[in-house]
Amino acid sequence: MYYWLSQLREAPVSAWIGIVLIGFFSILAIFAPLIAPFPEIAVVGPQYHAWAAPHYLGTDGLGRDVMSRLIFGARNTVGIALATTILAFLLGGITGLLAATLGGWFDMISSRIVDILMAIPSLIFALMILTITGTSVLSLILVIAVLDSTRVYRLSRAVAQDILTMDYIEVARMRGEGLPWLIRREVLPNAAAPLIAEFGLRFCFVFLFISALSFLGLGLQPPTADWGSMVRESAKLISFANFSTWQTATFGLAPLLPAGAIALLTVAVNLVVDWVLHISSGLKE
Amino acid sequence: MQPILKIILSRLMMGLLTLLIVTVVIFSAVELLPGDIATETLGQSATPETLAAFRSKFNLDQPVHVRYGLWLAGAVQGDFGVSLSNQRPIAELIQSRAGNTFFLAGYAAAIAVPLAILLGLVAALYRNSAFDRMISGTTLVAISFPEFFVAYILILIFSVTLGWFPSLADVDGSAPLPERLYRTFLPALTMTLIVMAHMMRMTRAAIINLLASPYIEMAELKGIKRWRVIAVHALPNAMAPIITVVALNLAYLIVGVVLVEVVFVYPGLGQLLVDAVSNRDVTVVQAACLIFAATYILLNMAADILSIIANPKLLHPR
């Protein structure tokens, strides 16, 4: 903990930008009902209200306040992406560690299943499964978590296999330590840094994936506020954009706001991941 | 037999085996569908006779493995059965759309691949310059920005503000080629921007890796110009990783096309797939997934095999 705090003081500007942005989005997500000026799904004004008080970012096609929906969108999209990533990590991480430590048939079978899952592009696979299960939040989380856990499995298995050849593992085994002890006390602490960086990258991937599905109309369903579906709903407006006046210029910006929020958060996480990778690789400038 | 042929053959077999397993996975998707397809299509009021007739017409009365065999045999010949929602043959729906999708992906690849390799070479030549740092920066942007964000920015700039290109690419194979290229320029540009950064970075890394080797130093000591050292001496040896990353990105292109097609309302396979998923038209989803997955697997296999061929150490075994 102390180590990370001391590293934080020396963190480059890019990492700080990332941390501040992530903090900003987290506050929006956690305190959404307190910050948002209007409710998430209530019609509060005329359709397509211009960017003026009290709707500072206008209203959408149903008269809902765009700024409030962006704030609630942070909560919904990021929350679901986070839950999916955690699930994918638990699933992929545990099976990967087990495959490396147990070896044998368990390793064989799980590796072949992962090979097959990874042979199909994940967007295509997800679309196929969602056709069967229908698009509910739960099936969305489960499908993406399973598809994404394959990468976590590969990484944690590779990292653990590297660690398992070390002498201290041999010593622990000769001491007669059991499997849970080996994983928890010897493997996990040494595998933490690459796994943390991977968590950031996976989160970005899942987040973009869910946004893409929502944009296609197959992710989070209305009236839930969500950045991907907000892009989809306001996409038509872009052809009415005209930069001669401020009023018409906002039409062009309507789909760019939620899309930009997605991009900004992903950039922020990537900046932090770059920094974590840099520290854990032990490289100095 | 030459060892390299043996390796290539084994990769080929592995690829085909993967493809076969994937067809099993895709086929079982329909089996997992809750409910009975015949009752669902014909409605609750259907008589037992019409249900039986429907089942025998679509071989639903056969056991699973027989149906899989029939489906696979049909798919190989381009016959994917009929759409569940409108009873039209899927081959009809798919034929022109698959052509459109491959056209768009090929168009994007034709811009992206040469440009990425060229810019990667320049970045390696002037490394640590402002240009090089800019290229590193664009990689971050390219992996972070969702496809539709890039697409809408391009639409806003080139279509709405400047009016140079149409924002909708609703053009099919019957249009003349120049018009087709013009109208699909923005979608192709979107995909180019997304896949280029990775290829650029890999080209740069592969070249820079080689620059430390003694034979490059020798070439430099002989007084050969720097661009010539890179293009003539370093590039051929950097080919293997570059080819691999190009093929992998082409595979990504085939999948990324789904989102881009929806943004630009391009009549391609991706658009069809998305519509079929929202209508829960499983047979169409199956066919589209099969085409996407097969292309993806074949490109990955090609990447594998090409990188073996491009590796001179394997061509001349001791």
The string of pLDDT tens digits covering residues A141-186 is 898 899 889 988 988 888 888 887 888 888 888 888 887 887 788 8
Residue type for position A139? S
Confidence (pLDDT) at A224:
78
Neighbours of B31 (CB within 10 A): 10
Residue reference for tokens 């765009």: A66
pTM: predicted TM-score of the whole model, two decimal places: 0.82
Q: Is A1's pLDDT higher than 60?
A: no
Confidence (pLDDT) at A91:
92
The string of pLDDT tens digits covering residues A189-231 is 777 777 888 888 888 888 888 888 888 888 777 777 788 888 8
Residue type for position A40? E
CB contact under 8 A, B289 and A125: yes
Task: Report whether A57 contacts A37 (CB < 8 A).
Answer: no
Confidence of residue B62 (pLDDT cuts 50, 70, 90): confident
The string of pLDDT tens digits covering residues A252-266 is 677 788 888 888 888
A129 chain-B contacts, CB cut-off 8 A: 29
Domains in chain A with CATH codes: 13-281 (1.10.3720.10)
Q: Does residue A242 or residue B196 have the better pLDDT?
A: B196
- Percentage of chain A beyond pLDDT 70 is 86
Q: Give the gap in angstroms from C-alpha B31 to the nearest C-alpha of chain A.
A: 10
Q: Of B155, B277, B296, which is closest to A121 when you measure between CB atoms?
A: B296
Distances (CA, A) of B137 to A10, A240, B53: 21, 32, 62
Confidence (pLDDT) at B59:
67
Confidence (pLDDT) at A284:
41
Confidence (pLDDT) at B36:
63
Residue reference for tokens 């394997």: B314
CB contact under 8 A, B149 and A263: yes
Interface confidence: ipTM more than 0.90: no
Residue B93: partners with Cβ closer than 8 Å, 6 or more residues away: B83, B272, B284
Q: Of A116, A212, A267, which is closest to B21 when you measure between CB atoms?
A: A116
Confidence (pLDDT) at A285:
38
Best residue of A22, A113, A132, A147 to probe chain B, by most B CBs closer than 10 Å: A132
Confidence (pLDDT) at B37:
65
Q: Is B292's pLDDT higher than 80?
A: yes
A262 chain-B contacts, CB cut-off 8 A: 146, 149
Q: Of A131, A252, A259, which is closest to B280 when you measure between CB atoms?
A: A131
Cβ–Cβ contact A215 with B under 8 A: yes
CB contact under 8 A, B259 and A116: no
A116 chain-B contacts, CB cut-off 8 A: 18, 21-22, 25
Mean of the pLDDT values across residues B142-149?
A: 80
Cβ–Cβ contact A270 with B under 8 A: yes
Task: Report whether A89 contacts A149 (CB < 8 A).
Answer: yes
Best residue of B152, B159, B254 to probe chain A, by most A CBs closer than 10 Å: B152
Confidence (pLDDT) at B8:
82
The string of pLDDT tens digits covering residues A100-133 is 888 788 888 888 888 888 888 888 888 888 887 7
Mean of the pLDDT values across residues A22-28?
A: 86
Confidence (pLDDT) at A164:
79
Cβ–Cβ contact A13 with B under 8 A: no
Q: Is A87's pLDDT higher than 90?
A: yes
Q: Does residue A87 or residue A227 have the better pLDDT?
A: A87
- Percentage of chain B beyond pLDDT 70 is 90
Confidence of residue B152 (pLDDT cuts 50, 70, 90): confident
Residue A135: CA count within 13 A, CB half-sphere: 18
Q: Is A18's pLDDT higher than 50?
A: yes
CA-angle at B86, arms to B84 and B90, nearest 5°: 70
Cis peptide before A121 (omega within 30 of 0): no
Q: Of B155, B280, B297, which is closest to A238 when you measure between CB atoms?
A: B155
Cβ–Cβ contact A1 with B under 8 A: no
Confidence (pLDDT) at A283:
46
Domains in chain B with CATH codes: 107-280 (1.10.3720.10)
The string of pLDDT tens digits covering residues B236-276 is 778 777 887 888 888 888 878 888 888 888 888 888 888 88
The string of pLDDT tens digits covering residues B157-206 is 787 777 787 777 777 667 777 777 777 788 888 888 888 887 888 888 88
B21 chain-A contacts, CB cut-off 8 A: 116, 119
